[in-house]
Amino acid sequence: MDQIITRFPPSPTGYLHVGGARTALFNWLYARNTGGKFILRIEDTDAVRSTQESVDAIFESLKWLEIDWDDGPYFQTKRYDLYKEYIQNLVDLGHAYYCTCTPEEIDAMREKAKAEGGKPRYDGRCRDKNLPPSDHAVVRLKAPPSGTTVIEDVVKGTIVFQNSELDDYIIQRSDGSPTYNLAVAVDDITMGVNVVLRGDDHVNNTPKQMMIYQALGIDLPVYGHLPMVLGSDKARLSKRHGAMSVSEFRDMGILPDAMLNYLVRLGWSFGDQEFFTRNELIEKFNLKNIGRSAGVFDQNKLLALNGEHIKASNPRDLIKPLRPFMNQRGYDPQDLDTLEKAIGTLLPRSKTLVEMAEGAEFYFTDIASYDEKAVQKCFQSPASDILGRLIQALEPLESFAEADLEHAFKGVMDDMGIGFGKVANPVRVALSGKNVSPGMFEMMGVLGKALALDRLKRAKAFIDAGI
């Protein structure tokens, strides 16, 4: 095969959902793996439901996922002249014809076929009339009257359709507009698409599109129909299972690479490996490892995987994606070195960027109050003396390096005859306001000497005022 050319053709009738994003990802990965081309096409022929807002949302989601396209975006509504040209060509070649049957006549044909135990279908009565174009006439493609149409599907295997069950379907409506299957086939032909990976809800469209290729004497693309994405209850994924829109996962604080990693595992595998970087996916993706079973979407697994991707990240790389979540909480640190250090302390403790922004807040804003349970547990009267001794030990230090801090803490513990927990618990609350936080020395290294000592003194004063 020549250069691999894949495509993703969403309809702009809503947001980009999980199943659509996975389809885009599989096509993008295969193109990137093979050094091929990935095309973006907007199938906007549904004038009633298509909106610019949906188009913008699709672009925004793909750009967040960093799924880039090499060609496009194409819009079907701007390609009507091309479709008309192909429709006329099919008529001229004798593979399509004008039909003037009324909706009532077609309903009667279908009812008759059902009554005779057959499949409801058009009976072809205008097929050989050689009717000219006229108002209210449609154009139908001639289906093969016998034999089979066979899809050699790279995912599902061989799929056979009996041609006797395929009727002469409409390729141009009475208003002159093309139908879905005609537009898709013409687009794929003219764009050179030679690999079509899409959801298995399109299986029944495939023989109709294949008929157009065959009528024009054009080689068929490789077809692969991907299994559905289901909810945890094995029903088709829907809003009741939680977030559906890709943008919702972005707003939850999911990293784009984690989202790609999770989506690809909903129907593709590489041995027992679960964690993949973007580059690993591009390197390893292939068609043979696409599974036939439906993928089950589990948001908890996505969150866990996102935590793994956060943990594996370079703290500096998280500054840009984290900043919107910090802004939502009302703070916007400008010292990038301090922010990078703060992020480094939170990598093992954050499953999402939302959690990280919440966890980082105490580094960059004043502690307005202490957690009530933490106060009851850690700010009892002995804590005042412990903090006082620690302040005295820390004030002379010229360095707040971990080794120096550890030495100072050990001196206080030895002098007072207490264990590490007795010191660590009140210090943790004094520095962060909470009982759960990054490591004590990590926090002090980020806060710096002046701010750390100020917080220890304020906490001692708070305890003393309450005694």
What residues are annotated to the active site?
239
What is each CA distance from 466 to 92, 181, 381, 391, in whole angstroms? 94, 76, 9, 19
Return d(Cα 139, Cα 87) in angstroms, integer: 8
Query: CB atoms < 10 A from the CB of 155, how many?
Result: 18
- For 396, phi then psi, to 5°, come to -75, -10
Return d(Cα 6, Cα 4) in angstroms, integer: 7
The H or E element that residue 63 is part of is helix 52-65
Contact criterion met (CB below 8 Å) for 130 and 92? no
CA dihedral 292, 297, 300, 306 (to 10 degrees): 80
Contact criterion met (CB below 8 Å) for 429 and 374? yes
Q: Is 157 left (phi over 0), alpha (psi -120 to 50) or beta?
A: left
Return d(Cα 467, Cα 462) in angstroms, integer: 9
| DSSP secondary structure string for all residues of 298-319 | -HHHHHHHHHHHHHTS-GGGGH
The H or E element that residue 38 is part of is strand 37-42
Q: What token pair was written down for 289?
A: 């490892």
Q: Is 269 left (phi over 0), alpha (psi -120 to 50) or beta?
A: beta
Provide the strand spans (E) within 277-429. Answer: 295-296
Return d(Cα 236, Cα 294) in angstroms, integer: 10
Indicate if the alpha-carbon torsion angle 401, 406, 411, 413 is positive or negative. positive
Residue with tokens 């290729």: 213
Return d(Cα 44, Cα 50) in angstroms, integer: 6
Helical axes 382-394 vs 420-432, angle rounded to 10°: 80
Instruction: Please enumerate in sequence order all residues whose Cβ is within 8 A of that of 245, keeping only pairs 6 or more positions apart, or say none.
Output: 15, 16, 17, 57, 61
